[in-house]
Chains A and B, each alone.
Chain A
C-alpha cells in the first residue's frame, strides 16, 4: 500500500514499540505533526528542544526503552546538540528525528537550514540523512537497532520535508543487516576461564562497575557474583544503583568525590574487576599511580573502552550480563571456600578504612545540603527515582542517598550537563507516572532549563524539584576556594536569582521554601503528598563543600577529607 513519508515514520515508530514522543514543532516537520494528531503515541510538548532530548534520555534511563525526540530543522535541530552529546557520553539509547528543508534546497542556506548531520556526527553513535523515500523505513529500523544494541547511544535521522510529503509503497523491513555493525555479545570463553582463575587466585579483589551494568540490566548477575564470592563492589557515578548501596559489600562510589574506603580499596587491591566502566579521569585520578598493584580484568561491550586509559591484563569484550552469567556458572563448579576464607583479611582492612573516615557533615543552624539528601533517602527508603543537575548537588545526591536498584539515579555523568535534571525528571515521570520522581537541583543549574516547569504542569507530572540553593555555582566556588585563592570570579548568584517559590507559582506549580533544618522533613513530607509538580527552595549553607575530594590529576589516595 502507498504511504506518505510521514505515515511511514508513524508506522515504523509503532513497529518499534514506541509509546511516547518528546517534541517541539516547526515548519519543516509540519507534515509529520499533522500525521501525529491521529497517532496513538503519548506526546509531550516541551518548551525547548534541548529539554526534549534530556526528557527522552531520562525516559530511556528510567525505563530501559529507547527515548524518541522529534524537532524541526535549523535551530530546532541545533538546540538538541547538548542533549545528544549528553546521551552519547553516557551511552543512552535515544532516536532523534529532525526536520530538514527539502532535499533540492539542501546546501542553499535556506531558511532554517542547518547541516545537523555534520554537526552531530561526533556526538551520535550514527546518523542518517534520508535522501530517498525508499530508504526511509530501513533507516528507521536500523536507527532503533543501532541505538539500543551494543553500546547504546543516540542516533539521529534527518528528514527532509519532501521525503515526508512524498509517497511510496510501504514495506516494513523484517530483517536487519548492517555489514559494518555486529556487536559482540558473548565473551571469549578462554578469556572468561582465565578471568575466573585470576579472581580465585586474588587476595584483595574489588569489583569496579559502571553504567554498563545498568544498560545491560546485569545488576542481578553482579549481585549474585559478588555475594557468592564476597567480593566488595565500588561503583562509578554512572554505576550507582547497579549494586544496592546499603549492602555490606558496597563500598559506595569511587573517584574524585568517592568514599575514602572505596578509593583506598581500589588503590590497595591486587585485582580490579572492571565491568561496564571506562576508567574516566574522574575515577582514576592520576593515571600513573592508579591501583598500582592491581591486575585488571576489563569486561566491556565496547572494544575502544579497553586499554584506552589503563593497561588491561585481561580484556573480555561482550555484554556484561552474558559474561557475568558465564563466570558464575564456571565459579560454581570450582571449590571457592578457601578463596572466601582468604578474603577475611581484606574485609577487615576495608572495615578499618571505614572506621578511619566516613562521610559526614557538621549540623549547624543553617540547612546542610547533605542533610536534605539524607532525609529524602530516609523518607523514600531508596524507592524514588532521583535526577540531578551537575556540580555539588549532583555529588551530594550521589553520596548521601543509598540507591538500591538500577535506573533510579539519572545523572549526566560524562558530559556533565547543567540543565539535565529537570527535563530528565519529566521524562522519568512520563515513563513511570505513579512513582516518586525527585529532581535534585542547584540554584544555578535549575535556571538552565526551568522553562520545563510549564511542561510538567501541562501534563500534570507530579515531579518534585529540590533546589539546594546556596547562592553560588557551588562546585565552581569550591574549586575557586581550593585552587584559586578564594577569588570567586563569576560564581556568585546571591541576590540575583528569581524567587523560586514565586517562579514555581507563576508556572502553575507549587512552590515551597525551607530555611531551617527542622523545616526540612515536614516540607518534604508535604511535597511528596501533593499530586502536583512541586519546587522546594532549600536555602542551604552557602559555603558547604563536597568531601572527600581528590584534586584533579592527583593520585586517588590523596583525598582532602575536611
Chain B
C-alpha cells in the first residue's frame, strides 16, 4: 500500500544521504521525495512517498525515527491530508494540436509558461491522479520532456506536524 510520510529533520549536511541510504540499505523503496527548509531555518521538512505492507511501513517509520537528525515522523495515511505535486511538461505543438493543448491546460487549470516555435511548456499542480490524467491526455500529442517535483503533503485541520501524534 502507498504511504505518504512527512518528516521534520535537522537542516544539516548529510541528512538526505542518511535517509536515502537507510532506504537503499534496508531494501525499502522511495517512490518520490521532496525536501526544503521550513520557517525555522534549522529544520527541513521532507515528504516521502513509499510502498509496502504494514510490517515494512512499521519498520520504515521506526528506522526513520531512529536516525538522530530526524526530529519527527508522521505517516499521513492514517490522517486526513492534502497532497500536491507540480509538473512541467514540454509538449510538441503543431498547427493541429496547439488548440487542443491549450484546451487541456485550461481544463486542468494549468498555465503555459513558455512558448517555442514547436513546443509549449505547461505548468500544472495537483494530486497524483490529476497529474496522471493530464499526462495521459498530453501523451498522444507528443511529450518531449517532463519534470515532476514529487509530492508535498500536509495534514488537514489546524494542527501543525509538530502537534500531530
A residues with a Cβ closer than 8 A to B are 117-118, 121-122, 125-126, 129, 146, 178-181, 302-304, 306-308
A sample of 18 more A-B contacts (CB under 8 A), given A118-B17, A121-B14, A122-B21, is A117-B14, A121-B18, A121-B21, A122-B25, A125-B68, A129-B13, A129-B14, A146-B68, A178-B68, A180-B67, A180-B69, A181-B68, A303-B62, A303-B65, A304-B63, A306-B62, A307-B58, A308-B59
Contacting residues, chain A, for B117 (C-beta < 8 A): none
CB atoms of B55 and A179 under 8 A apart: no
| Contact A180–B21 (Cβ < 8 Å) | no
A468 to B21 CA separation, bound complex (whole angstroms): 40
Q: How far is the CA of A308 from the CA of B25 in the complex (A)?
A: 15
Report yes or no: B14 in contact with A307, Cβ–Cβ below 8 A: no
Distance in Å: Cβ of B7 to nearest Cβ of chain A: 10
Q: How many A-B residue pairs have CB under 8 A?
A: 37
Query: Is B85 positioned at the interface, with any CB of A under 8 Å from its CB?
Result: no
Looking across the interface, which residue of chain B has its beta carbon closest to that of A309?
A: B55
Selected contact of A303 from candidates B14, B66, B70, B71, CB within 8 Å: B66
A303 to B58, CA, bound (A): 10
Closest chain B residue, CB of each to CB of A146 = B68
What are 20 A-to-B residue pairs whose CB atoms are below 8 Å?
A118-B17, A121-B14, A121-B17, A121-B21, A122-B22, A129-B13, A129-B14, A179-B71, A180-B10, A180-B67, A180-B69, A181-B68, A302-B66, A303-B62, A303-B65, A303-B66, A304-B59, A304-B62, A304-B66, A306-B62
Give B161 Cβ to nearest chain A Cβ, in Å.
Answer: 14
Main secondary structure of the interface of B (DSSP, over half): helix
Q: B residues touching A (Cβ–Cβ < 8 Å)?
A: 9-10, 13-14, 17-18, 21-22, 25, 55, 58-59, 62-63, 65-71
CA distance A306 to B59 in the complex (A): 9
Instruction: State the CA gap A125–B67 with chains docked (Å).
Output: 8
Bound-state CA distance A138–B121 (Å) is 50
The residue of chain A having its C-beta at the shortest distance from the C-beta of B58 within the complex is A307
Point out the residues of chain B lying under 8 angstroms from A129, CB to CB.
13-14
Separation of A146 and B67 alpha carbons in the complex (Å): 11
B68's contact among A122, A126, A304, by CB below 8 Å, is which? Answer: A126
Closest 9 CB pairs of A and B: A304-B62, A180-B71, A126-B68, A181-B68, A303-B62, A122-B25, A180-B70, A179-B71, A180-B68
Chain A's closest residue to B43 (CB) is: A179
Complex CA gap A179/B58 in Å reads 22
Query: Quick one: closest A residue to B54, CB to CB?
Result: A307
How close is B18's CB to chain A, nearest CB, in angstroms? 6
Residues of B within 8 A of A126 (CB): 68
Give the docked Cα–Cα distance between A302 and B25 (Å): 18
Residues of chain B contacted by A146 (CB below 8 angstroms) = 68
Instruction: Tell me the smallest distance from the CB of B27 to a CB of chain A, in Å.
Output: 13
Q: How far is the CA of A126 from the CA of B63 in the complex (A)?
A: 13
A contact residues around B21 at 8 Å (CB)? 121-122
Complex-state Cα separation, A147 to B113, whole angstroms: 52
Minimum CB–CB distance for A421 against chain B, Å: 28
Q: Which residue of B is nearest A117, CB measured?
A: B14
B17: A residues at CB distance < 8 A: 118, 121
